[in-house]
Structure 1
Amino acid sequence: MKYIFLFVFGFLISETSLANSTDSLFKELNAALEKKTEYESVKLIRINEIKKSLAKPSSLTVEHLYNAYSSLYEEYKTINYDSAFNYAQKLLDVSYKLNDKSNVEEVKLKKGFILLSSGMFKETFDVLQSIQLAFLTPQAKVEYYSLFARYYYDLADFHKDKYFTVEYNQKGNAFADSAMQLSNKRSYDYIWLQGLKNLRNGDMRAAARSYEQILGFKNLTPHQYAINASSLSYAYANAGRENESVDLLIKAAIADVKSVTKETVAILNLADILYKKGDTQTAYNYIKHALDDATYYGARHRELKIGAILPIIEGQQLSTVEHQRKLLLGYSVLATVLFLTVVVFIFITIKQLKKLKAADKIIKMANISLQQTNDLLKEANKIKDEYIVYYFNICSEFIDKLERFKKSIEQKMLLGKPDDLKSTLAKVDLHKEREGLFLSFDKVFLKLFPNFVESFNNLFKEEDKIKLEEGQLMNPELRIYALIRIGITDNDRIAKILDYSVNTIYAYKTRIKKKSLIQNDGFEDQIMKIQSV
């Protein structure tokens, strides 16, 4: 009996310790996310210092350019695809000038790495195929085979097809084996590839041993730590070690935030786990960070994955907010009833008119405040409800179109009619589809804000007011500020939604504000005051 008591007591102490450890890690992660902008500022300062060294092109040697572009590529490769690709391309141009075949082929490896990180599989394959192995150093060959292994593993994850996934995993294993043959068995590359291969083949125990060994290495970069901690977390989760798995994911997410790594999966996987556990609020916060990172980096495959999860979590979050709103309304009604009871009691017992008037005044003020709050909540809920319906309708229509398109192509392929197939493909008008998407957005928005165009034009002189063509609901300028009115203020997101460059968005906004009767700083505030129905 004594030993049973000691065992139970020890188990409870252990569980409490684990819970406290996880809570402490969550606090550390949340603190890191609050300082996210500070970490990014430090990295951007470092990048700007390197760029300053390129300010006087006349005094730069080819070797100096190579070193500077290489440093900028390394800084950008985990935070922004466009910039990293740009400097990889410049690095390739400089390598040709150096007339060093080895350098040229190694820069192609860098280019392939950044393309794969962005989810551009075809382009990655084309670059890797163009590399001449004969000019690569032994270490560069290890990187080459490792990158090809990761390419096929990522393809397997992306397709999730019964036939092709098996084939891609087999090819990934073959390239991993080639890289391992050229690596020292005690090296980081060898052990990492061994762990990756075991993970893909479902041998979680062997994979865990490899990643545990790597995490014991000294001088790991934060990015290397995050990658291996995430992988070990996956292995632990499949082995039933749930608490350790979550702790590792949190640590990986912290490392990513502090190292300003945007090409990451740790916080996304953490959000998914928290959602499944019922913590929708935290899951929602984390997945928004994951989406911001994926968008900032330009990781297309990550955005697709997040896009599949986000509506589910967001829908649950909206349900939670609605439930809380109803509770708040119930408490408000109860408080009001209790207050009225007190007022009536005071009226009956004391019969003091002054106190009754004061109480009545308080009630009126509370009702006005409550009405204002309810109006704001109604507007917010109406916007959310309309756009949730709009989103699902658009997705449903798009899926229907894809299904019809797929059936049509399959039928023509079976009938062996390549000319008909080309004709079908030629009928796909992306411009028309986007115009249709904009028209749907205009209709939903103007349903919510029927006076938007008129109110918008009231902010300009008569000659500067926007005049729409016949049949046109809104133009690009109006759509930009329509998106701002519903809460989308980030220029990058607006640019992606409207298929413009960020510079175009800036140009539109600047031109509109200059013509406005309102000062530039207060223009968007006036837009936000435009009322819905």
Structure 2
Amino acid sequence: MRRLFFLCLMIIVNVSVCWSAEINLAMLYRQLDAAIDSSAYYQKQKSDVIRTLNRQYDSARNDQEQYQFAFSLYREYATFVNDSAIHYLQVCMDCADRLGRQDLKTQSQLAMACQLADTGFYPEAEYHFKAIDMSQLTQEMMITYLSGRKDLYGEMGYYSHEKRLSSQFFKRADVIRDSLFNLLPPESAEYVGLRSQVLNNQNQLDEALAYSDKWLQLVKPNTRQYAIMAFYRSEIYKKKAVNSGLQSDVELQQYWLIRSALTDIRLAIMDQGALWSLANSLIEYDGDLDRAYRYMDFSWNCISQFSTHMRSWQVSPILTRINDQYKNSLHQANTNLRFTVVAISLLLIGLLILLLYVQKKRKQLAIARNELKTANDELALLNAQLSERNTDLSEANRQLNDSNRVKDVYIGKFLSICSEYIDKLDNYRIKINRKLKAGQQNDLLRMTNSNQLKEDELKELFDNFDDVFLRLFPTFIRDFNALLRPGEEIYPTGNNRLNTDLRIFALIRLGIDESSRIAEFLRYSPNSIYSYRTRIKNKAAGNRDDFERLVKEIGIEG
């Protein structure tokens, strides 16, 4: 009877949540897109906190203060930049050694082991777990210790390619999990969440969802714990969707993934799994390739900043899947294009036949009408003049071709490919435009009348160039301005973006120092590029003739 009541309660809760998700799913996607657009703001907030802690860390008066600030920096970096988090934990361990504080050494070593385990450095994590002085562990630290080792062996079992080792790791994780259950208060969020995960792994989905409901009540929104809860709740609905095939379960899975991803983005958490899981769901169930690619691109940037190889391994299959989907779409587009070319060819043949017929009739009319003789004589004179002009034009073209022949055949291969790709897209738009003007589909005709495609591609080209360049040379703007006189510094207007002045000298830094090649990429004339270069060299703090050579040396370690 009690179990029947429990199941009825679960059905009511699920129906209520499903109705809410159905109402709010589209709105949540808009919120998620807005959060991604504002991610730089959230990351700046996190960076501001870190900068404040760094100043306090630099001004620490003794090892005790240095330990406290270093541990606070670790907490901020733990989900933001993995390498920095590990660095400050090492600082904490060194401080603890100098202070002779075994309790602090144990605290920082436990944090190090858990950080390494969470980010895929399994042998290193195992080393630090074994080095921990168990006598120094409080009950809270023991819970953290057991939870970390459970996760370590669970991950090692999941990613192991040898079944025997995988089974051994899972058994170790189960033993530690049982010990963890004995320590955790039954009404705590940690206990309820762990119980929900275990039941989900055992495919007891209704019971897992019931514990997930309790877990939901025990965590606060807009916290890391809420993001974790929402992610594991989506995993339950993911299994339910596979078992039931119901669209409502798919929507609930995506609903909680969005909730988790929103929290990660707003908290500037770079170690996130919800967004690329959402991208995978969009590909599998909705076929929304563009949205999936946008989410994967953002998630990949976050993972790259967090700097851990394990997340890259997890994301790679989804990126491959998106790539395959794009290939299929491209193949279909090529098929449609071939059909269009055939149709246009047939129309051209018909038009040619019609033109030949009209020409024949015109010749017959010309013979019948003597009054056109004068007009024909004048036409012959004009043709002679045109022939003379054509001869002059041919000579000019010959001279131009001879001049072009001696140009550098290796001019900007990569940049030319990008520019040609944009021009091809524009030519494709013009061809489709012409076809539609001769036929139907007026809605598509309006779309192709716009130059937006070319402008978007150029913007994306420049954005990609800026992003890659600033990753290669993160201190370029600072070092470049150091070469200019005080008060003449040049700064971009947006985050991770260069303006025209900086972009010209970014290309020079890459070895592309011919104005014609720079102009080709930036869509300026060579004279304009020359003027930009001259104007900026006049602002040089030292010898202007050495300015570009010094720019080329930016980022070279001595």
Aligned pair count reads 380
Q: Is 502-511 or 86-95 further displaced after alignment?
A: 502-511
Structure 1 segment 463-478 matched on structure 2, within 5 A: none
Q: Partner of 1:31 in structure 2?
A: 34
> How far did residue 330 of structure 1 move?
8.1
Q: Which moved more, 1:192-201 or 1:134-143?
A: 192-201
Deviations 1:377-406 (A, max 9, x none): 4999xxxxxxxxxxxxxxxxxxxxxxxxxx
Contact persistence 2:231–2:274 (CA under 8 A) = yes
Q: Distance in 2 between matches of 1:506 and 1:163?
A: 54
Residue 423 of structure 1 corresponds to which residue in structure 2? none
What does the per-residue CA deviation read over 1:242-298, in whole Å, with 9 as the maximum and x for residues that have no partner? 322221111111111111111111111111111112221211111222222222112
Q: 1:48 and 2:51 equivalent?
A: yes
- The structure-2 alpha-carbon separation of the partners of 1:515 and 1:134, relative to structure 1 and needing over 3 Å to count, comes to same
| CA distance in 2: counterparts of 1:70 and 1:15, whole angstroms | 42
1:249 aligns with 2:257: yes
Q: Counterparts of 1:332-411 in structure 2 under 5 Å?
A: 375-377=423-425
Task: Look up the match of 1:259.
Answer: 267
Amino acid at match of 2:42: Y
What corresponds to 2:100 in structure 1?
99
Task: Quote the residue 2:128 is aligned against.
Answer: 127
Instruction: Report how far residue 214 of structure 1 moved.
Output: 1.5
CA RMSD of aligned residues (A): 4.3
| Identity percentage of aligned residues | 20
Task: Quote the residue 1:113 is aligned against.
Answer: 114
Aligned-partner residue type, residue 202 of structure 1 = N
Change in 2 beyond 3 A, CA 1:515/1:157: closer
> Does structure 2 retain, via aligned residues, the 8 Å contact 1:152–1:171?
yes
CA distance in 1: counterparts of 2:86 and 2:478, whole angstroms: 24
Alignment partners' CA distance in 2, 1:13 and 1:186: 24
1:312 corresponds to = 321
1:294 and 2:303 are equivalent in the alignment = yes
The alpha-carbon deviation at position 528 of structure 1 amounts to: 6.7
The CA distance in 2 between the partners of 1:134 and 1:14, in whole Å, is: 46
Q: Under a length normalisation based on structure 2, what TM-score does the superposition of the two structures give?
A: 0.59
Taking structure 1 as reference, are residues 87 and 510 closer, same or farther at Cα in structure 2, changes over 3 Å only? farther
How far does residue 304 in structure 1 lie from its aligned partner after superposition? 1.0
Structure with larger Rg: 2
Q: Deviation string for 1:458-509 (max 9, x for gaps)? A: xxxxxxxxxxxxxxxxxxxxxxxxxx999565448976xxxxx978999999
Q: CA deviation at 1:110?
A: 1.1
Please state if 1:270 is matched with 2:278. yes
Matches within 5 A, 1:404-419: none
Cα deviation, residue 302, structure 1? 1.4
Q: Which residue of 2 aligns with 1:432?
A: none
Evaluate the alpha carbon distance shift between residue 21 and residue 282 of structure 1 in structure 2; reply closer, same or farther with a 3 A threshold.
Answer: same
**Where does the alignment leave 5 or more consecutive residues of structure 2 unmatched?**
1-14, 242-248, 359-418, 429-460, 481-504, 525-558
1:98-123 superposed Cα distances (whole Å, 9 cap, x missing partner): 32212111111111122122211111
Partners of 2:127 and 2:17 lie apart in 1 by 53
Q: Which runs of 5+ in 1 are unaligned?
A: 1-11, 349-370, 381-483, 496-500
> 1:446 corresponds to which residue?
none
CA pair 301-41 structure 1, distance change in 2 beyond 3 A: same
Residue 289 of structure 2 is aligned with which of 256, 263, 280?
280
Q: How does 1:142-291 map to 2 (within 5 A)?
A: 142-159=143-160, 161-219=162-220, 222-240=223-241, 241-277=249-285, 278-291=287-300
Equivalent position SS for 1:216: helix
Give the corresponding residue for 1:367: none
For the 8 Å contact 1:142–1:180, the answer to whether it is kept is no
Any idea what SS the aligned residue of 1:54 has?
Answer: helix
Alpha-carbon distance in structure 2 between the residues aligned to 1:524 and 1:126: 53
Query: In the alignment, is the contact (CA less than 8 A) between 2:50 and 2:76 conserved in 1?
Result: yes
User: In 2, Cα distance between the equivalents of 1:34 and 1:153?
Assistant: 35
Q: Distance in 1 between matches of 2:157 and 2:470?
A: 29
Contact 2:153-2:169 at 8 Å conserved across structures: yes
Report the residue type matching 1:210 in the other structure: Y
1:20 counterpart letter in structure 2: I
Separation in structure 2 between the aligned mates of residue 16 and residue 335 of structure 1, nearest angstrom: 50
The residue that corresponds to 1:62 in the other structure is: 63
Query: Counterpart of 2:57 in 1: which secondary structure?
Result: coil
**Number of the residue aligned with 1:473:** none
Q: In 2, Cα distance between the equivalents of 1:15 and 1:136?
A: 44
Q: Deviations over 1:42-66 (max 9, x none)?
A: 1111111111223435xx2323212
Q: Deviations over 1:121-165 (max 9, x none)?
A: 111111111111111111101100100000011112222654333
- Closer, same or farther: CA 515–242 of 1 in aligned 2, 3 Å: closer
Question: How far apart are the structure 2 equivalents of 1:78 and 1:140?
Answer: 20
